[in-house]
Amino acid sequence: MLKLYNSLAREKQAFVPIEPGRVRMYVCGMTVYDYCHLGHARVLVVFDMITRWLKASGFEVTYVRNVTDIDDKIIKRANENGEPYTALTQRFIDAMHADGAALGVQAPDHEPRATEYVGKMLDMIRALIERGLAYPAPNGDVYYAVGKFATYGQLSGKSLDDLRAGERVEVDPYKRDPLDFVLWKAAKPGEPAWPSPWGDGRPGWHIECSAMGSDLLGRHFDIHGGGQDLQFPHHENEIAQSEGAHGCKFVNYWLHNGFVRVDDEKMSKSLGNFFTIREVLAKYDPEVVRFFILRAHYRSPLNYSDQHLDDAKAALTRLYTALRGIAAPAVAIDWHEPYAASFKAAMDDDFGTPEALAVLFDLAAELNKGGEPKQAGLLKALAGVLGLLERAPEAFLQGGGEEGDYSAERIEVLIQERLAARKAKDFSRSDAIRDELKAAGIVLEDGPQGTLWRRE
RNA sequence: GGCGCGGUAGCAAAGCGGUUAUGCAGAGGAUUGCAAAUCCUUCCAGGGCGGUUCGACUCCGCCCCGCGCCUCCA
């Protein structure tokens, strides 16, 4: 039985889908005005892992991850670059897809873009006004009247009074309550705009997810996810909009992943302490990055540093090393088999990937003691559920690092030369060859089946 | 100020009221021409103070420290 931590209830709960056997999940994706950083990588990988586990558990999953392709920062960046905002967003959507694919992230079933849903958003805003939950202001903006939504604050555990006490934003004079948020933003001259009953403008940020979620998954669906920083105000406002406009429960389970940190501080655009996925992939194998992310529990903070990536690489190397030289058969997982059962128990407990990975290491140790090929198949199958160990071991072990002056062919030639030297008991020559390769980051390992090599 | 999360061995990171987490690093041994990989053995824990309990890293309270949200943010 899958249990997951529901931010709305602030506790782990048994997962019961609305429709038996089916899961409908929405995750807030990226605002596309720059390259994705590691924090974005975490959202991509974590919810990919969650989707894979739901599917492995037998659910049919509909996974929606949106793209915010219109907002202030996009307009600003496009103006700075002197290009149409659509050119900017398309470029970074393409980059995001490339980064995600590198990290082994499967494409969501739907990837709606905000600009495609302006009509649906206007419908919702209209409904909110009719229900007395929103009001147009004289400046052409439309605001949500937070005080009219009785349960506002349910997700973030904040009361309106507390929020007012902590208010530190300049108050918009057109808002009836400083905490009211914008649904529709009047366009300034020259800005991208769509026609509306309240004048030309563009949607506020929060309304897009309400509109896209209900359109693709229905007004009431199972899981809504995103980074912890979206819990308030974004997700709180989504609830107010969706439940306000539709008059029914919006989402049953809210999932929030923890931050990636640098020097114990949140990695973020505003702090400027971020590393893009591409920067990291220039130094580390994408699977190492994926492993690094899954090695921590999805709700825990994850500190980024080269040392931690090096650790992840060493750990992943151990798994691939265990599989080396074994013809692993394709195995259909029997979830009653002891290792598989432990793995499942870990994953069913709020997606406990650290413990699930520990099971893989136990299996690898078993394999190293002379286990059967079937166990190698099981190791690959279980790891595959997490999107790991899907390559041939040699491809991982020999693929890392820079090729430099040593191609695989050149290394083979040197190995043969060393072999001949060893046969002739010319150990100084054979050691010289190994030292030469070692200096280039290539390790030789003599075994019963001959000499194997890998890049460090 | 309000609300919330966390402090585990050298580093990273989990579960668990009593039994080896796991990976890397360290020590000893096996193996190896030498190595590497692997195996065996082993060292190193649970911020502080109280409480509950036969027994707490695990539950409760207080304190200290760190972090997050309350403003765009994954």
* Tens of pLDDT, residues A358-401: 999 999 999 999 888 899 999 999 999 999 999 999 999 998 66
pLDDT tens-digit profile, chain A (456 residues) = 899 999 999 999 999 999 999 999 999 999 999 999 999 999 999 999 999 999 999 999 999 999 999 999 999 999 999 999 999 999 999 999 999 999 999 999 999 999 999 999 999 999 999 999 999 999 999 999 999 999 999 999 888 988 887 666 667 889 999 899 999 999 999 999 999 999 999 999 999 999 999 999 999 999 999 999 999 999 999 999 999 999 999 999 999 999 999 988 899 988 889 999 999 999 999 999 999 999 999 999 999 999 999 999 999 999 999 999 888 899 999 999 999 999 999 999 999 999 999 999 999 999 999 888 899 999 999 999 999 999 999 999 998 666 677 888 899 999 999 999 998 999 999 999 999 999 889 999 998 878 999 998
CATH class for the domain made up of A20-260: alpha beta
Through-space separation of residue A22 CA and nucleotide B41 C1' in angstroms: 50
A81 CB neighbours strand B below 7 A: no
Q: Which of residues 34-53 of A touch strand B (CB under 7 A)?
A: 37, 39-40, 42-43
The ipTM assigned to this model is 0.96
Q: Percentage helix, strand, coil, to 5, in chain A?
A: 45, 20, 35
pTM of structure:
0.96
Which pairs with CB-CB distance under 8 Å and at least 24 residues apart come from A302-305?
A: A302/A42, A302/A258, A302/A259, A302/A260, A302/A261, A303/A260, A303/A261, A303/A262, A303/A263, A303/A264, A304/A38, A304/A260, A304/A261, A304/A262, A304/A267, A304/A275, A305/A262
Distance (Å) from CA A4 to C1' B64? Answer: 32
At the second CATH level, the architecture of A325-396 is: Up-down Bundle (1.20)
Q: Distance between CA atoms of A383 and A397, rounded to whole angstroms?
A: 17
| Gap from A307 CA to B10 C1', Å | 13
Q: Which protein residue lies nearest to nucleotide B34, measured between its Cα and the C1' atom?
A: A431
- Cα(A78)–Cα(A86) distance, integer angstroms: 8
Start-end of CATH 1.20.120.640 domains in chain A: 325-396
Nearest residue to nucleotide B37, by CA–C1' distance, is A445
pLDDT recorded at residue A398: 93
Q: Where does CATH 3.40.50.620 sit in chain A?
A: 20-260
Determine the Cα angle at A351 with ends A347 and A357, to 5°: 60
A154 CB below 7 A from strand B atoms: no
